[in-house]
Amino acid sequence: QVQLVESGGGSVQAGGSLRLSCAASGDTYARSCMGWFRQVPGKEREGVATVTSGGRTTYADSVKGRFAISQDNARNTLYLQMNSLKPEDTAIYYCAAARREPWRFICPTSADNYNYWGQGTQVTVSS
């Protein structure tokens, strides 16, 4: 059983920074792909960033150059460093995990590919 617990959300002013953390436990083979997703009312859940067990990353165009995904060497903690935050970044942020198939070079960016989810953490950016 894979368990994911997010922390680090909160309220900041535009231009500020936050660092989200996701504590992961369980079968490491079941979480060889990990990622961050976000959702606001009335909109589809959006892929923000993903990382493979080998460190290959993807980013949504809207966050490139501002956000960075990383993980510790033991793959027990996933991070999302968020800089230059904008009001449109306001959302509930979720960490997610899935098994990366051997033929994939990067992790999938659609939420329906992930089968383990954290409870979510609220990020609010004010003007």
For the segment 110-126, what is each residue's pLDDT rounded down to a tens digit? 999 999 999 999 999 99
How many whole angstroms from its chain centre is CA 117? 10
23 or 1, which is more confident: 23
Q: 3-state DSSP call for residue 59? A: strand
Across the chain, mean pLDDT equals: 95
Amino acid at 114: Y
Mean pLDDT in residue range 32-49: 96
Nearby residues of 106 by Cβ (< 8 Å), 6 or more positions away: 50, 52, 56, 57, 58
pLDDT of residue 16: 98
Residue 10: what pLDDT?
A: 97
* Single-letter amino acid code for the residue at 60: A
- Residue 87 · residue 16 · CB < 8 Å: no
